[in-house]
Structure formats: C-alpha cells, structure tokens
Amino acid sequence: MKKNLPLMVIKTLKNLSVPDQRDCIFTKPDLENWPSLLHENKASLAAVENRNSSRSELVSIAAQYTHRIGLSVNQLNSAANIIVTGHQPNWHHCGIFAKNIITDKFAMRTDGIAVNLVLDHDICNTSMSLPESDNNGFLKFKTIQLEKKQNHIPLEFRPLPSNQRLKGFVDSVSKIQNSFCSDIWCQDSYSVLKYAQSSRNAADIITQLLAQLHKALGLEMFYLPVSLMSQTDCFTGFVYSVICDAVNFAGIYNQAIKNKIETDNLKSNQTIRLLKTDYLNNIIELPFWLVSKTGRRASLYVSLNDRNLRIGTADKIVGTIDSSGDKKLQLLEILRKNKCVIRPKAVTLTLFTRLHLADLFVHGIGAENYEYITDHLIRDYYRISRLSFGIATATMTLPQCIQNQNPQITEPCLHKKFELSKKVINHREFFFGLFPGKKLDNIANSKETENENGFNCCPSSR
C-alpha cells in the first residue's frame, strides 16, 4: 500500500516545443483527460488479435529483468492497466525524468503497472557531462566516460565495463556533492558492483543505476529491454505479419510521410525518409533493423518472387521463406543460421508497443518526429479508429555555481560574475541525478502551487 502523495505541479503543454518555464511538468493533452483516453484505448485495443497473451509474455519478461537488475518486484497482473514509456539507456535529462514521473503516478492512480522500455538496441553515447566552474565563474563541462571505447554499435552488443572502470565512473560522478546521484550511489556502492555480476552489457549497468535513482524518488517501474522484447513469440509474429504484407504496409507508411510533407509544407529532409520501394520487382524496405552478430545494422528488405519470400538487406539476401511448413519458424531459422537478429526502428517499436502491450503510451516532445506515421498505420493499416497517447516533459537547468576546490552544487550566486553563460542556460541535457535530491523530490511530489491542473495521486495498492 502506498502512502498518500501530495499534488504534483502539472501544466498543459500548448505546443510541442521545449517549455521555457522551469521546475514544472508539462503534459499534452491536459492530464485530467488521460483517464478518458485510457478508457477509449482499452475499448479500441480489444480487437487486437492475441493481445492478452502478448501482454502476459512481455510483462513476465519485464518482471524477470527488473528482478535481475536488483529491484524487488510485486506480483504482476497483466490484465491491469499498463502505462508505458521508454528511452535509450543513457543519462536521462529532466525531460525524460518527467515522463517517468507521469508514467508512474498515472499508473498508480489507475491501479496499473508502469513499464519503462529500455532502448538497448539503439546506438547512443554513454558518457556524462559534469559541470565545473571556469576561472570567470561560469560553468563549463567535463566529460566522464563509462566505457573505455564507445563502439558505434547498439548498446546490447557493447561489453560490460570492468568493475574497476565502473567504480571509477561512479566515484568521479559522486565528487559533485549535494547531488542526488552522489547521495544514492554512495550509500550502497557495493550493490552497484554486486548486480554488475548479473549484467550482460553497458545498457544493463546504466539501467540499474537509473533504476536506483527512480526507486529512491518513490517511482515503481518495471524495465523491459527492447533486445529481450524482440526475442518474444509475439514480436516475431508481429514482424512476420508485416513482412508478409510488405507492399501494403510500406505504401501506408510512405503515404503518411507524403501527407505530412504536403500538409506542413516541409522539405523531404525535414521528416523521416520514405521507405525504398521497387514495385516492379517487388522489393520493399521495411522499418526494421537486420543486425549482425557483431552489432552491424542494416535496413531490412523483403522481396516476393514465385510465392517465396526473401529477406535480407539492400545488397544481400540472407534467406527464403517458402510456402511449406511453419513460416515463422522458417524466419527464426534463417536468423539463427545467419547469426543475426531483427530489431524495430522507432515507428515499429512504438507501433508494436501501443498495439500489444500499452494501454497508454507516454512520449516526450520528440515523438512528433515519427508518431504521425504510427497513428496513420494504426488507423489505415490496422483499422483502429482511435488510439491516443500522452506527452510529458519538463525543463530544468543548473542555475548554480560549482566551486572548483570542493565541487558542490549550491544555491544561485547573486554576484554577476557567477551568472551562467548563455551556453549553459540553453543546455538542457543535464543528467537529472546531478540535481539536489530535495529539488528533484519537489518536482516528483510537490504541493499544488500556481498550477493549472492539480494531479491528485490517489493511494492504491500495486
């Protein structure tokens, strides 16, 4: 049973741009409308084939993984409301932190489950920018590396940092006194190394460290890596269904992009590029990655020839699915023989998640770059008339001075020479763990002040 939580300061996002107002969470649409969106989504999603079994499979994997990275998990009910968000396993700035807060609190309010998708199939930077003061009293940045060498491959294929390197990374970050991550990670540095033993790659380590901070702020989330999600029966079925209807799927996908370009008067380089199609030879690019055993990614292509379905990349066929036998098993066998895997791109990741797992998906403001394609596919390909998602974000910067001799985050200095440079003021990518714990706790669980929409987090049992 959770204790009563105070109201959170929530405002409605007027447009999909980074809000200038700091230390306040913004949502779109109005958060008070989210329960009705959830209700409408559940009614629409009832028509999705095998959705209940897909949710059971995915929730079970999320629970196992969450336990493996060192978090206790309650008994899960896959029939509960499932609220999903996600991001790459790097050092989340406060806009991402806001998504996690809203996802957790809304799941609690609706007696549901909060699931955090870990995009470990993506390529991203695992270093952290630490603030320090220059000779003029302005903040500058120092980069601390988690990995000795950051190969340009997905994190799921990048080796686990050594215990010595991991400890050195945590120690370096923890030198910033009065920061939240320092307070939490230093309390039990043993657990960092303990659960590193069961980690398999750099993504696991980052997820474990982020999860510790989420838990310390009262968030109860389950973590689901895309690499594990992509190995499930339900995801394989999803991929195969798209492969079999590649011409129709790609046509609707590309039409959504063309509509966006025309409606918003965009140039082709201002939106996601069109899938490559050669209808004369029935060769179609699909929005999936075909990934080699070394982590090299290439777009997935399929071609239909003489009733056989060939899959591969733009320059190589890796296998053929014929009309005999179990076609999904043939697909898996082709992947096994070639020692490769299929991973979703942005559109197919959120498409699969919204159809087969989430009752409500929570995006950041970056979703506008591709979610119009997903909505188009949901409506015109899957024939689901209405399926909504929410957006949450926040802006927090570090308007504090950092003392060189004894790195410590303090209150803003009044003297002009300590004012932040424009570069720092506009730098919104500070890791949320670098902020003072009290400041973060005020954002996560603050009393209603000057807010347009108070969000009453009702107590519930999880």
**Percent of the chain with pLDDT strictly greater than 70:** 85
Q: What is the pLDDT of residue 395?
A: 85
Q: What is the pLDDT of residue 137?
A: 59
pTM > 0.85: yes or no: yes
CA–CA dist 462, 460 (Å, integer): 6
CA–CA dist 80, 33 (Å, integer): 19
Q: What is the pLDDT of residue 188?
A: 67
Average pLDDT, the chain: 85
**Domain limits, the chain:** 1-230+260-265+346-462, 233-259+266-345
Distance of CA 213 to the CA centre of its chain: 16
Lowest pLDDT segment from 21-30, 237-246, 258-267, 423-432? 423-432
Q: What is the pLDDT of residue 152?
A: 92
Q: What is the pLDDT of residue 178?
A: 79
Omega prior to 29 cis, within 30 of 0:
yes
CA–CA dist 82, 55 (Å, integer): 9
Residues 68-85 have a mean pLDDT of 85
Residues 84-92 have a mean pLDDT of 96
**In sequence order, what are the beta bridge partners of 301?**
285, 312
User: Is residue 450's pLDDT more than 50?
Assistant: no
Three-state secondary structure of the chain = CCCCCCCEEEEECCCCCCCCCCCCEEEECCHHHHHHHHHHHHHHHCCCCCHHHHHHHHHHHHHHHHHHCCCCCCCCCCCCCEEEEEECCCCCEHHHHHHHHHHHHHHHHCCCEEEEEECCCCCCCCCEEEEEECCCCCEEEEEECCCCCCCCCCHHHCCCCCHHHHHHHHHHHHCCECCHHHHHHHHCHHHHHHHHCCCCCHHHHHHHHHHHHHHHCCCCCEEEEHHHHCCCHHHHHHHHHHHHCHHHHHHHHHHHHHHHHHHCCCCHHHCCCCCCEECCCCEEEEEEEEECCCCCEEEEEEEEECCEEEEECCCCEEEEECCCCCHHHHHHHHHHHHCCEEEECHHHHHHHHHHHCCCEEEECHHHHHCHHHHHHHHHHCCCCCCCCCEEEEECCCCCCCECCCCCEECCCCCCHHHCCCHHHHCCCCCEHHHCCHHHHHHHHCCCCCCCCEEECCCCCCC
User: Is residue 421's pLDDT more than 60?
Assistant: no
Q: How confident is the model at residue 216 (pLDDT cuts 50, 70, 90)?
A: very high
Lowest pLDDT segment from 33-42, 328-337, 348-357, 447-456? 447-456
Q: What is the pLDDT of residue 374?
A: 96
User: Is residue 219's pLDDT more than 80?
Assistant: yes
Residues 281-310 have a mean pLDDT of 93
Closest alpha carbon to 45 in 388, 303, 380: 388
Q: Give the CA distances from residue 381 to residues 245, 328, 332, in Å, rounded to whole numbers and listed in that order.
A: 10, 21, 25
**Percent of the chain with pLDDT strictly greater than 90:** 57
458 versus 181: the higher-pLDDT residue is 181
Closest alpha carbon to 378 in 29, 55, 38, 41: 41
Q: Is 265 exposed, middle or buried (0-12, 13-18, 19+ CB in 10 A)?
A: exposed
Q: 């929410």: which residue's tokens? A: 390
User: Is residue 409's pLDDT more than 60?
Assistant: no
Instruction: List, for residues 53-67, the tens digit of each pLDDT value.
Output: 999 999 999 999 999
Instruction: List, for residues 320-338, the tens digit of each pLDDT value.
Output: 998 777 889 999 999 999 9
Instruction: List, for residues 334-384, the tens digit of each pLDDT value.
Output: 999 999 999 999 999 999 999 999 999 999 988 878 899 999 999 999 999
Lowest pLDDT segment from 16-20, 156-160, 189-193, 401-405? 401-405
Q: Is 287 exposed, middle or buried (0-12, 13-18, 19+ CB in 10 A)?
A: buried
306 versus 108: the higher-pLDDT residue is 108
Q: What is the pLDDT of residue 429?
A: 61
Residues 248-261 have a mean pLDDT of 96
